[in-house]
Each structure stands twice: as structure tokens, then as C-alpha cells.
Amino acid sequence: MASNKYSSTSRLPKDTTTGDQDNDFKNHAAIAGPEDAPIKDLLQMMASQQKLLVDLLQRMATPTVAPQDSLFDRVSRRLDKFSYDADQEDCFNLWFNRHKDVFEVDCQGMDDAMKTRLLVAALDAPSHTRFVRYILPKEPRDLDWSDTLETLKTLFGTKKSLFRRRFECFRMNFSPNEDINSFVNLLKARTLEANFKDIRQETLECLALVFAFQAPELADYRVRFLRKLDEDEKTTVDDLAKEYHAWKSVKDDSRIVEAANSPEICTVQKRKRHRLPPQTKPRLPPSPCPFCQQQHWKKDCPQNRNATSAAQESRTAPRRRTKQSSPRTWYQRAIGRSGDVQKYLEVHINGHPTRLQLDTGADVTIISRPTWMQLGSPRLQKTSDVFKGANGQPLPI
């Protein structure tokens, strides 16, 4: 008996941390004899308790995942309704940045479809209606997370192009009465919206080229440059140069077509004549002098002594009083017109509207250089025709 007890107790498990205690207890309970009934009951009870402890530890180690429906309701209550305000610039981006942590951190247990539903559900009624009509014939459930976010930014985000946002950063002015900290914060926000961190040297060259096209007649080229920069951020100055040549060729071809279907237009240029002062010739008498028979006036003849002395005596002699005549009165009648009675007509020349004076007696209409530029600067040709003015004198052309 002592040997049996010793043999049974000598086979008890020594390791209690391997996780195999349950099997060891069962094995010892199976080999125990009838005389070891208390030990057998004790081993079975310990095996059952060990099993319960293992099950409890496994349940505690398994993470508890909340159902997505309850997570959806909990997160949706934290979101404010988005309401579009046309007067507020970049309305949607401001709202989304305020709730960015909710979508990126709190919604980690959600799939993209449920995040999309949560974002669409945060729109108010007018914004939701506008979004649904914009994506027709698709439904909101047909769009993934990225497409839904980009569509909302397009509808309710800023309407300014990237070029305009960058341009406005350099147009900001600081007033002496302004708070420097507020101005710096605004500057940081503007530069972040302008995306200066991704700007390249080629982009700066393109911006400098656009600033160089400031002349009014280059406005159409400037518009095409800005459109190309807005469509492709990797545009270079060489691409803009090609765009310039292509558009210039199209405009030249258009002028050729207009010139073929339009009447001939000749330029008239008036040149000022520099008139020399007329040379005065001495006036000769119609007949020779009666004293010396020379070709000069009688009063200038040196032989006319008697005439000269008589003239001097007549100057020194007292004059007789004559009857005082009444003072002469001059009347001047001013002839004028009240208001401008000239008539002007709005006409179209080569498809361009212009304003010309109505003249029913004119055979040829002469326009000024500014008017010629307003007509698109059509090609000019020399003419051999002679034109006369209202006084009958020829006009130098």
C-alpha cells in the first residue's frame, strides 16, 4: 500500500504553467486505484476548474468589437449638419477639416461604403438635393469614398483656380492698425490653400510669362494660358509658347477669311503741309513817273520838289473844322446752334460695332486710327484713287 501511494503521488505533475494541466489531471485520475478515491475526486475538480479558468482567460483576451450600426449612430450624432453658404468662401473644406478626425480616427472600424453613407447623411436637405441631382443618373451608393469627397468639394468648395489663389497671396496688404498675429495666421491659411509646397520652377516660369502678357490686345492669349495652367499643373513655358503660336495662326487665318468676304478698306492719312511765308514783291505803279519818266511812284520822285513842299505846307496849315459826323455803330450778329445736331449711326464693319457720323453727301468714309484698331486692325492696301474734300481741294492720301 505504501508503495502504491508513493507510486501514485510520485507521478503528480510538476509543471503548472504549460497549459496541459487538464490532461495531466485526467491521466492521474484514470490511473488512481480504488483506494485513491479522494485523490481522484480532487484531481477531477481541479481539472474542471482549470478548464473554466482557461475559457475565461480566452474570452477576456478576445477584443470586443462594437457593431457597425451602433458605431454609425454614435458618430453621426457628433457631426454637425453641413449647410452650404454661398457667401462663405471654401465652405465645404472648412466644415470637413473641422470633422476630419471623426472620419479618419473614429470611423476606423467602418468600411468605405458606411463612411460614404455617413458623409452624405451629414448634408442638409438643400445640399443633399443638389448633390443627388449633380451625380445623376448615379445614386449616392454607387460612389466610393474618394469620389464622393471630390464631388462635394467641387460643388461646395472654393471656385477659385489655383493660379488665382497663388496670385492673391502676393496681393495681401498689411495695414498699420492690423494685428500681426491675425495677419500671419491668415497668410498661413492662404498659402496652404495655394499649395505652394508642390510648386515647381517650371510653374514659376509660367506665372512670370502670364504676368508679362498685360497689354489689352494680348488678353485672349492670357486667357488661354490661364486655362492651360488650370487644366495641367505640369505645363511649361515651352507649352505656352506652342499655345501662343497655334492661337496666333488661327487668328491670322480668321483675318484672311474676313478680308476675302469684306469690301476693300484703304487707309487715308493726312499730312500737314508746311507753308512758307509768301515773298513780298515791291508794287510798281501802272504808269511811269510824269516828272522823270522812271518806273516809280510820283511821290517818290526826287524831282518832285514842288509836290513835296506843298505836302509839307498842307500838314502844317491849320485844318478847317468840318461838320462832326455821327459815330458809326457796328452790329455783329452771332449765328450759332444750340446743341449738337450732328447725327451718328451704330454700324457693324467686319463684324465689329462702331459709331460713325451720318453724311449723305460723302462718297468715301475716312476712319481714324483708333477706330481702325477697334475693327480688328484689318490689312491695309495702297490706293491710287484721288479723293477731294468738301471745298473741292484734293486730300493728300
pLDDT digits (tens, 9 = 90+) for 139-168: 888 888 888 888 888 888 777 777 777 777
Mean pLDDT over 31-47 rounds to 71
**Number of CB atoms found within 10 A of residue 176's CB:** 4
CB neighbours of 195 closer than 8 A, spacing ≥ 6?
A: 162, 165, 166
Q: Which is more confident, 65 or 266?
A: 266
pLDDT the model gives residue 277: 67
**Number of CB atoms found within 10 A of residue 54's CB:** 13
Mean pLDDT over 108-113 rounds to 80
Among the ranges given (186-200, 312-326, 365-379), the one the predictor scored with the smallest mean pLDDT: 312-326
Task: Give the confidence band of 41 by pLDDT, cuts at 50, 70, 90.
Answer: confident
Distance between CA atoms of residues 136 and 47, nearest Å: 66
pLDDT the model gives residue 306: 57
Each residue of 123-139: pLDDT tens digit?
A: 888 889 989 898 888 88
How wide is the angle at C-alpha 64 spanned by C-alphas 61 and 69, nearest 5°?
170
Task: Give the confidence band of 4 by pLDDT, cuts at 50, 70, 90.
Answer: very low
Do residues 195 and 263 lie in contact, with contact meaning Cβ atoms separated by under 8 Å? no
Question: Quick check: 342 pLDDT over 60?
Answer: yes
Alpha helices by DSSP H, listed for 62-139, are 68-76, 91-98, 100-101, 112-121, 125-134
Do residues 81 and 88 lie in contact, with contact meaning Cβ atoms separated by under 8 Å? no
pLDDT the model gives residue 335: 43
What is the pLDDT of the chain when averaged over all its residues? Answer: 73
Among the ranges given (23-37, 154-168, 362-376), the one the predictor scored with the smallest mean pLDDT: 23-37
Among the ranges given (255-259, 359-363, 372-376), the one the predictor scored with the smallest mean pLDDT: 359-363
Q: Which is more confident, 336 or 171?
A: 171
Among the ranges given (1-15, 180-194, 261-275), the one the predictor scored with the smallest mean pLDDT: 1-15
In Å, how far are 150, 152, 162, 216 from 136, measured between CA atoms? 16, 14, 28, 42
The alpha-carbon radius of gyration of the chain (Å, integer) is 54
Among the ranges given (23-37, 108-122, 200-214), the one the predictor scored with the smallest mean pLDDT: 23-37
Task: Give the confidence band of 330 by pLDDT, cuts at 50, 70, 90.
Answer: very low
pTM value > 0.85: no
Distance between CA atoms of residues 6 and 334, nearest Å: 155
Give, rounded to a whole angstrom, the gap between the first and last alpha carbons of the chain: 148
Distance between CA atoms of residues 27 and 392, nearest Å: 140
**Number of CB atoms found within 10 A of residue 221's CB:** 19
Identity of the highest mean pLDDT range in 87-91, 99-103, 124-128, 350-354: 124-128
Do residues 363 and 385 lie in contact, with contact meaning Cβ atoms separated by under 8 Å? no
Task: Give the confidence band of 7 by pLDDT, cuts at 50, 70, 90.
Answer: very low
% of residues, the chain, pLDDT over 90: 0
Mean pLDDT over 345-350 rounds to 77
pLDDT the model gives residue 235: 85
CB neighbours of 103 closer than 8 A, spacing ≥ 6?
A: 96, 115, 118, 119
Question: Quick check: 241 pLDDT over 80?
Answer: yes
pLDDT the model gives residue 34: 52
Mean pLDDT over 373-388 rounds to 77
Question: Quick check: 329 pLDDT over 60?
Answer: no
Mean pLDDT over 40-65 rounds to 77
Among the ranges given (50-54, 64-68, 97-101, 226-230), the one the predictor scored with the smallest mean pLDDT: 64-68
Each residue of 271-311: pLDDT tens digit?
A: 666 666 666 666 777 788 877 777 777 777 877 665 555 55
Task: Give the confidence band of 332 by pLDDT, cuts at 50, 70, 90.
Answer: very low
